Amino acid sequence: MKKFLACAVVFLSAAAPAAASESLTVYGFDAAQMQRFILATFDGSARMDVIEQNDVVLALAKEIPASRVEHLMPEYRVPSRDPLVPDRWEREPVDFAEERATFSFRPSRDGGLTVTMRADLVANPGMWRRERTVSRDCGDFHAYARYAQAFFTGGWGSGMDLEERNGRMHVLDVLEGSSAWNAGIREGDRIRVINKTPADSVALDYFGRKYQWSDYGKPFTVEMERPNGERWHAELSNDYIPAQTARLERFFGVSGVQPGRTREEVEASTRRWVSPEEKRARENAPAVPSSGMEFDDAGRVASVAPGSPADLAGVKPGDVIVELNLVKFGDTGAAKARETIEKRVAGGLTAILDLKRGGATFTVRVKKPASGKK
C-alpha cells in the first residue's frame, strides 16, 4: 500500500475535501494478527517507525519536512517596545514534524474485530509542552480499507493495491478473482494511462475513490506495462472480489478461515454504478403522478393507476373534475390543478375533488394512505 498519507495536500488545497477516518470489520482474527497484516501490507517496506503497539492500538510514524506544518502552527503576539511600532504576530517554531498513522482495534457487537484508521500531522513530537497535533484525521485510508476488507471478508472493486515509486503508479498486490486479476495484472506492473489520462498525473487517493474502489459495476480502462516493457490495455470494473481465504491461511499459518461474503451479499449491500445513458433515460422517463391519475385540459380523467390514492378514493376514468379544493376547475386551469393535486398528495395532504359522473356530482378526497395501509 502507499506509504505517504498526503495529509498536507488535504489542508493546502482549499478545493480538496477533508478526509474522514475509515474502518473495517473482520471475523475470526484477533488484534495481533491484524497488526501483523497491516505491517506487512500498509508498510511492507518499513518506511514508517512503530511508535506504539499494544492490544488496542498500532501507531506508525514517518518524519516529514517541518515546512509542511509550519503554516498550520498557532500564532502568538509579540508586543512591541516602541509605541509607534505595532505588535507583530509569529507562529510557533517547528523543529521537526511527522505523519502518524493510527490503527485502533475494538470488538464489534456481532463478534468481529473493528479496525479504525486515521492519520495526523504532529509538530515537535516528543518535545515537552511543544508537541502539537496540527492536523487531525487528515489521511485518506479509503483504498486501503476497501482492499483489506475485500481481503478478509470479500467485497468489490478492481482488486489492485497500489503504491507510488519515483512518481509512477505501480501495482503492489492484486486480489485473486478480481477483475484486475482476471485481466492478467500482477504485482510489479505499472499503470501508464487511466481512461486516456496519464497515470503519473493522477493521485493515488483520487484514483482509488474515483475508479478502482468506486461504485459497484463502474468500468474503466488502463494501459499497463510489465517490468520487461510489454504493454497492453485492460478493461476493468468494480466487480465482486471473493475473500482471499487461501492466502490468509498461508499468511497466518492457520486453517478453517471463514469463506467471506457471497456475490449476492455484496451486491445487496453496495451502491450500484449508473451509466450516463441510464441516467439520461431516467431523467427523460415520464413522471409517475403521486395521485395516480391523469386528466386532460378539460378535466376529464384519462387513466387511474390501480392501488393509487386516486383509485382508493374512488376516481374512475371518464370522471370530470368540476372543482378542486372548492375552486372551480375552469378558474384554476389544468396545469395549476395538476400541480396542486400532486404537491398535496406527495406531501401527505388531501386534495378535495368534486367530480361529475353520468349526470351526478359527488366529492372524493384523494390522499396518500398512511404507512402500512392500502
Selection from 120, 144, 124, 118 nearest residue 44 by Cα: 144
Number of domains making up the chain: 3
Q: Are residues 270 and 161 in the same domain?
A: yes
Q: Are residues 134 and 7 in the same domain?
A: yes
Supply the range of the domain harboring residue 126.
Answer: 1-140
pLDDT at res. 37: 95
Q: Say what angle helices 31-41 and 245-252 make with each other, to 10 degrees.
A: 100
- What is the C-alpha separation between 9 and 137, in angstroms, rounded? 13
pLDDT at res. 289: 73
Within a domain: residue 81? Answer: yes
Q: Cα 149 to chain center, whole Å?
A: 14
Q: Are residues 324 and 206 in the same domain?
A: no
Q: Are residues 315 and 245 in the same domain?
A: no
pLDDT at res. 4: 44
Within a domain: residue 280? Answer: yes
Q: Are residues 319 and 277 in the same domain?
A: no
Within a domain: residue 201? Answer: yes
Within a domain: residue 373? Answer: no
Q: Are residues 32 and 82 in the same domain?
A: yes
pLDDT at res. 15: 32
pLDDT at res. 1: 52
Q: Are residues 31 and 162 in the same domain?
A: no
SS3 per residue for 132-180? EEEECCCCCCHHHHHHHHHHHHCEEECCEEEEEECCEEEEEEECCCCHH
Instruction: Please measure the distance between the N-terminal and C-terminal CA atoms of the chain and give it in whole angstroms.
Output: 54
Name the stretches of the chain with pLDDT < 50. 2-4, 6, 8-18, 372-374
Q: Are residues 299 and 337 in the same domain?
A: yes
pTM: 0.71
Q: Are residues 114 and 248 in the same domain?
A: no
Q: From 285, 317, 345, give the residue that closes a domain.
A: 285
Q: From 140, 175, 201, give the residue that closes a domain.
A: 140
Q: Are residues 46 and 117 in the same domain?
A: yes
Within a domain: residue 150? Answer: no
* Strand partners for 174: 160
Q: Are residues 276 and 339 in the same domain?
A: no
**What DSSP assignment string belongs to 223-239?**
EEE-TTS-EEEEEEE-E
Q: From 257, 285, 313, give the residue that closes a domain.
A: 285
Judging by beta carbons within 10 Å of its beta carbon (0-12, 13-18, 19+), is residue 345 exposed, middle or buried?
Answer: buried
CATH number for position 246: 2.30.42.10
Q: Are residues 312 and 340 in the same domain?
A: yes
Within a domain: residue 49? Answer: yes
